[in-house]
Amino acid sequence: MHSADPVLPVELERLIFELAAWQDPETIFALILVAKRVCMWIEPELYHIVLFRKRLLPMLESKPAEFLRQHIHHLAIPAGIEYADVVRILSTCTDVHNLAIWNNTATRPELLPLLCKLTNLQRLSTTLFALCGGFDARLRIPPPEELPFANLTHLDIFGLFPEQLWPVFKMLPRLTHLSLSTNTQPPALINAALNACPLLQVLAVVWVGMSVLPDESKISADPRFCIVQCSHHEFDWKLGAWGGATFGAGERRRWRTKSASDKKV
């Protein structure tokens, strides 16, 4: 037998390499050098989660659109990418399940038709204020059929979120997890979200930075509500995309978990 031939059954060998790549993504660059067959199995994992700007645009030039469409499932678009490139990215990566748009200058209502075409979109992190035209003094909530919310289970809202946008909560029929990434959340907003989303399991206010957390009990006694502290939002997003604990696992200061049965009657 040639030394390069697999000793294990091919299916088992592939599973081992795929598990190694999933458990430690940093090893992918080494694994693809092991053998040609391993490269064919593992290389797509390099595109499974795309976060950094320096990787994003070169991919559009170096890989066929169908390859990117098939393999990019978790996508974060950071600040510094031009609006035209954001449109190109979203037009190409149409099988995205988890999308973060952290780019206020390129987040505008004109993106909504593209987002609605992402039929597998389940997780979204963005500023709804910008997506609904707030930065252009044309703030309005489009009708539900023009919003990419039908299949969302996880929504992370950051930035401004005025009361005019609160009716959005009634347009999220499948939402189970909601996070509000800002340090000012009035109790009325929290209660509006808790009352409007029928399947909501967790509402987390993500406290950015290292300031002291407020007393949760003074905001809401609902057992679904909690406050967490996260100082590395991008790291947290990537960790969650790889299947790890979210909301800054290493930076977590407090997470209140309480079931309805714990409440005193």
Say if residue 73's pLDDT is above 80: yes
Say if residue 236's pLDDT is above 80: no
Check if CATH label 3.80.10 holds for domain 48-262. yes
pLDDT digits (tens, 9 = 90+) for 99-150: 999 988 899 999 999 999 999 999 999 999 999 998 877 899 999 999 999 9
pLDDT digits (tens, 9 = 90+) for 148-199: 999 999 999 988 888 999 999 999 999 999 999 865 678 889 999 999 998 9
Q: Which long-range contacts (CB under 8 A, 24 or more apart) does 202-206 make?
A: 202/176, 202/177, 202/178, 202/226, 203/178, 203/179, 204/177, 204/178, 204/179, 204/180, 204/228, 204/247, 205/179, 205/180, 206/156, 206/158, 206/179, 206/180, 206/181, 206/182, 206/230, 206/233, 206/247
Answer yes or no: pTM beyond 0.75.
yes
Report how far residue 139's alpha carbon sits from residue 132's, in angstroms, rounded to the nearest whole number.
6
Please give the share of the chain, as a percent, with pLDDT higher than 70.
78
Helix axes 83-92, 53-62, angle to 10 degrees: 60
What was the pLDDT predicted at 170?
Answer: 94
What was the pLDDT predicted at 209?
Answer: 61
pLDDT digits (tens, 9 = 90+) for 216-227: 767 888 899 988
What was the pLDDT predicted at 56?
Answer: 73
